[in-house]
Amino acid sequence: MDKKRAFAYINNYQKQNYDRITILVPKGRKEELTKISKENGYRTLTEFINTCVKEKLERMEEEK
């Protein structure tokens, strides 16, 4: 499979299986968050952010 077809396959898979959320952070914050996520064993910034959101939602649910 050539690179163009592989890229198209990945994009199609993501469109079918994921929702996209865009967040804006101050300049330099992305690099800082990426460094923190790697230092704490996360493979990607997305994985780190998803975990943070999940943990926050769980804490909010416990407070009810």
Q: Are 36 and 48 in contact (CB under 8 A)?
A: yes
- Per-residue pLDDT of the chain (64 residues), as tens digits, is 699 999 999 999 999 999 999 999 999 999 999 999 999 999 999 999 999 999 999 999 999 8
pLDDT at 1: 62
Task: Look up residue 52 and give its amino acid.
Answer: C
